[in-house]
Structure 1
């Protein structure tokens, strides 16, 4: 089954000449799979160019980077890499039937399962330290600490992806369930703490928040909403696998849960680009049409392009 390679036909790796069916085992329950496939089309059409644009913006701003740029760039690279998987997956299902390509696709889905939640957790940690513990954050500001953390995330990602590719490990799916529960809890807690700290940072006797902190408050609030939208469905559904029939879980619950997780490869770069005062490399008419908030901000007060709080 194409939406997530962990649910694909078990004989695929042992019989590379089999003609795969994208709805294998779910021929009469295709709605969940179609939903996931539809969202993956957005990752190809919109997600890939959006993530490439994010990488270009980060490279352009490399002389004045924010502390989260290492995590943002790594996340955009991984999301762009994941965006090329659906076309390759369909070609292998219906044309190539190649065992090695099949293994590389499983590896790519393992990358998506792990890299997205972990890099988002790193970004949330960076913001949490900056707002809640600014003194300690100043001591840990050198980029070397973020590079070390990035290397650790890559090692964890590749270890998980390799294990997913090999397959056959008992209760391996529980690893992903535990990871998604832990990272969702961490990201939610971090963003709630940031919002509370920003709310309390108003001056004594003042009703209005400082404009910069107000902007940061809106950014973090939007990020929290995205985290809930992308990660709450799998968090709410996957731990209760034993309560579903195998067919219902495989054909409905799993593809729908992964669909919300996978579409984050498109939503995350679009949210980042929408926060910029000006989107580079794009004609002004495109910016006005697709990023009207950027145009409003640049008209109100021309500022230097910034990164998320």
Structure 2
């Protein structure tokens, strides 16, 4: 069973059934269906696609805006910008695949489109946790190992790590698209558990470093450490909200019938993961003091919709370096 089986990837292709125990069941082969096995239980599948519609309406523009901001700030980039850029691009790509899913459900019914959609689910499963972990690693080294951070500050190190993550992502996605691998979902579960544990380590370590740096005065926090802690804390919130429900859900698979788990439980659970393509760029944009190309009034309106903490900034000062 695949991991991100929400909506279209919840089907098991009839052409892949010979890989299982029902290899040569009957001479009659079921015609391909994007709802295969869930034709009478499509509510959760449609719910997941409805949630993903937010990625099309809000997520794609937000991710493109993040990419534009990163390009705009390329002369004075942050060391994590390459990871943020890759993550935003992957999320925009995943959101762009959602309309294809709707068309394939009710118009095309093509196996090729379904396979492409399944590949995009593999990208979503892997790229998010891995790139978020890379951002945490970068902040962790910057705060706790500043000397090492200075030695490894060159762009080539982060470029090499980003290429490695992309290779792992595409390898996982290709294997997911092909299907037929036993216990394949355990790879995803282990990945999320490892990423979640790493976020906890980052937060605990950076918080401890922040407390040590405050000294006698309460507000005398090092700006770099304070910014790093906010970054990692926001990433932890994303991991907890978007990824942890799936990790909690998988151990209870045996408590459900296979059809109920595949057609109801998994699509509903993966809706939390898929909406992260909107939450991640919104969280990044909400942390900015000034968004290029947008007026202050527009920034306040967007921030008030998604965060309640941005009400304190009626005036925006000079753009950050």
User: Do residues 121 (structure 1) and 133 (structure 2) align?
Assistant: yes
Mean CA deviation greater in 257-266 or 221-230: 221-230
In 2, are the aligned partners of 1:202 and 1:210 still within 8 Å (CA)?
Answer: yes
Match of 1:191 in 2: 203
In 2, are the aligned partners of 1:20 and 1:93 still within 8 Å (CA)?
Answer: yes
Match of 1:304 in 2: 320
Which runs of no fewer than 5 residues in structure 1 stay unpaired?
A: none
Cα separation, 1, equivalents of 2:15 and 2:94: 21
Q: Decide which of 200, 212, 217 is 1:206's aligned counterpart.
A: 217
In 1, are the aligned partners of 2:192 and 2:244 still within 8 Å (CA)?
Answer: no
SS at 1:258 equivalent: helix
In 2, are the aligned partners of 1:195 and 1:217 still within 8 Å (CA)?
Answer: yes
Match of 1:245 in 2: 257
Cα separation, 1, equivalents of 2:64 and 2:79: 20
Match of 1:77 in 2: 89
**Displacement of 1:284:** 3.7
Aligned residues: 302
Match of 1:164 in 2: 176
Mean CA deviation greater in 179-188 or 41-50: 179-188
**Displacement of 1:8:** 1.6
In the superposition, relative to structure 1, how do residues 294 and 303 fare at CA in structure 2: closer, same or farther (>3 Å)? farther
**Displacement of 1:228:** 1.1
Alignment of 1:96-245 (within 5 A): 96-203=108-215, 205-210=216-221, 212=223, 213-245=225-257
Cα separation, 1, equivalents of 2:15 and 2:96: 20
User: Do residues 256 (structure 1) and 272 (structure 2) align?
Assistant: no
**Displacement of 1:135:** 1.2
TM-score, normalisation: structure 1: 0.88
**Displacement of 1:108:** 0.8
In the superposition, relative to structure 1, how do residues 298 and 124 fare at CA in structure 2: closer, same or farther (>3 Å)? farther
In 2, are the aligned partners of 1:26 and 1:251 still within 8 Å (CA)?
Answer: no
In 2, are the aligned partners of 1:29 and 1:251 still within 8 Å (CA)?
Answer: yes
Mean CA deviation greater in 140-149 or 215-224: 215-224
Cα separation, 2, equivalents of 1:60 and 1:251: 44
Cα separation, 1, equivalents of 2:81 and 2:30: 41
In 1, are the aligned partners of 2:8 and 2:118 still within 8 Å (CA)?
Answer: yes
Match of 2:77 in 1: 65
In 1, are the aligned partners of 2:13 and 2:32 still within 8 Å (CA)?
Answer: no
**Structure 1 moving runs of 4+ over 6 Å:** 12-17
In the superposition, relative to structure 1, how do residues 294 and 110 fare at CA in structure 2: closer, same or farther (>3 Å)? same
Alignment of 1:51-62 (within 5 A): 51-62=63-74
Cα separation, 1, equivalents of 2:39 and 2:33: 16
TM-score, normalisation: structure 2: 0.85
Match of 1:3 in 2: 6
Match of 2:105 in 1: 93
- Measured on the aligned residues, the alpha-carbon RMSD in Å equals 2.6
In the superposition, relative to structure 1, how do residues 247 and 102 fare at CA in structure 2: closer, same or farther (>3 Å)? closer
Cα separation, 2, equivalents of 1:152 and 1:218: 26
